[in-house]
Structure 1
Amino acid sequence: MIVVMKRGASQKDIDHMISQVESLGLKANVLHGTERTVIAAIGDERVNGVQSLESSPGVDSVMPVLAPYKMASREAHDCTSVVKAGSLTVGGASVGVIAGPCSVEDEEQIVASARAVKAAGATALRGGAFKPRTSPYSFQGLKEEGLKMLATARDETGLAVVTEVIAPEDVDLVGEYADVLQIGARNMQNYRLLEACGRSHRAVLLKRGPSATLDEMLLAAEYILDGGNSQVMLCERGVRTFESHTRFTLPLATVPYLHEKTHLPVVVDPSHGTGHTSLVTDMAKASVAAGADGLIIEVHPCPEKAKSDGYQSMTFDQFDAMMKACRRVAEAVDRTM
């Protein structure tokens, strides 16, 4: 951490700041410049009280050097982590693909989807049993019945199940049926839910909030890691901007940036990121080219009859074509699918 003193700061102000830095368990290294004095605080700066130093007399600014997240950062773990959950592996040389409908609607629909996406090369099945919706009148999911249907689809195909959990009290129930707990964008900063998932033995897919910074996303992941669960995947699903031509704006620079900052694998959701089926294939290919460790894609037997997100869901044939296109891109960047 670097503490920059104001021009003309008195020796009393400097001595006070040295005392404050040392009271936090850090070593103060004072550098006297021609115009300003700078105090380099050496040690683990991620302690309580650091930010309050900026309110001290004579201080111009306080600049952290270390990332605020300890366990998620590459400072703690240099190699990219690999998350394994049943048939799904995310973070290795192969790009993991999670595919299926937005919502579980009935057993025939979810089993047919599981068979189709597996045949096309998907390595996990997605499907919502609990659906947080903007409108209280929209389809809210089949709850535990939907979870049972997902388990049936897993028994039929061997695909790992990825499904959303929306409340801390539901973590154990969803964990009985799912291989991966998905934390949706709306719940990225639901800290009680993050803590509950941190106590779970199930892998977690953490989606970025629509208005969240990447630091906020990584700090949300830190809650899960700090709870003892190291099986965490990050998911870029687009952010809200002034643009209206897509449902959200999908910033793929997120992928290499996160790879620089964290060891956690990064999944991209081009379905939510665009909101238009016609755009999903190209953004999926771009995601693979950018280095994504996984994709999560909405696929439905008949999108026009889907109870949720049909406008961004692929048919089985469209998904199969997308997978073939993505494999060619993956090969070009030394990955497999």
Structure 2
Amino acid sequence: MQYYDANTFLYLNGKFVKASEASTDLYSQSLHYGYAVFEGIKSYHTHNGTRIFKAREHYERLKRSAELMHIPFPYEVDDLIRQTYKLLEKNNFKDAYIRPLVYCGPHMTLSPGAEVSILICAWEWGAYLGCTLQKACISSYQRPNPKSTHIEAKASGHYINSILATTEAKAKGFDEAILLDMNGHVAEASGANIFIEKNGKLYTPALGHILPGITRTTVIRLCKTLDIECIEKQITVDELKAADSAFFCGTAAEIAGIASIDETVFPSLWTETIGATIQRTYKALVLEKQNYEVII
């Protein structure tokens, strides 16, 4: 996939520069140790113009991730939101994926550095998991132990775990991996949270071993709006495979239905599931086709 061309702009340390002309320090602590924090945000072409979905929530989480990882964050959230809209306008992007990244300067010790940079880039990108139902497998890789790192931070180095899990899944002929936590309970996919449906209710893994996704929170709030019972709890693999249906959710994935886990095919027709209802409602929300923002 081509992420930029000769005319693409990005935002780097307060300036808009051509992506093809931007550079970074090869002695960066982030490059050598994966010591950086980032976000994934989406904009949508709505009848109200180009709108960034949950921009404040994403930038507040970026700030919180930096604080948890002891990375300086000398930036104002309101200004970052303004600059992101300018970036979309300069590139004439409407439906886009936006990637802010706070990364560290040259520093070769295993202690926090004082020098940081901020990059915001964007590209036009469709649904990350595609439009078809996903075939998933239980990964042999676990999510990191919360005592080994701040699992709730969206830190660059954490995603080595995701790359390993996805690579394994695709090598086995699956679309996506589902990782368990240290206790063998369902945690999340490589880059998305997971919900299951059973007997007219939704269930999702409780916080503690997972990234607290912004889309996950949106789904839970939509359930309240739609009068759908949604329960946060520890979920076993047996409970997962005994579900009526299931779906992934995330900024990039949006709402993506799951066809099967390993060799277990979910019995419910996707179009008749709660997940499909959430999928349609979420799409209406991000496109501002209905005024759900007043409620959630």
TM-score (norm 2): 0.28
**Which of structures 1 and 2 has the bigger CA Rg?**
1
**Larger strand percent:** 2
**Larger helix percent:** 1
